[in-house]
Amino acid sequence: MPEELRAHKVKRLHMRSMRRGIKEMDLILSAYAADHLETMDDAGLTLYDNMLNENDHDLYQWVTGQVAVPDEYSDLIARIQSRIADQPVGQV
């Protein structure tokens, strides 16, 4: 199977960020994706893709600091949290 083109991968990840299981994660991840996916390197996109395979309730608890973040996602979740702190969801 051919490797996915970068532009297709970014578009797919953006769509997956907008269509989550819970509305809060739709808002949080779609805002983060809009700001960061285009500038991520391939490793960053792969990590983000892997994170999107996680359960939404787990993601929400990680982003809100309710439970500890797995080491593999700690930097990514910290960047998502920083994005929310700098520009709360729903604000432009």
Q: Is the full-model pTM beyond 0.95? A: no
Domain boundaries, the chain: 41-86
Q: What would the pLDDT profile of 41-90 be if each residue is shown by its tens digit? A: 999 999 999 999 999 999 999 999 999 999 999 999 999 999 888 876 65
HEC letters along the chain: CCCCCHHHHHHHHHHHHHCCCCHHHHHHHHHHHHHHHHHCCHHHHHHHHHHHCCCHHHHHHHHCCCCCCCHHHHHHHHHHHHHHHHCCCCCC
The predicted structure's pLDDT at residue 63: 95
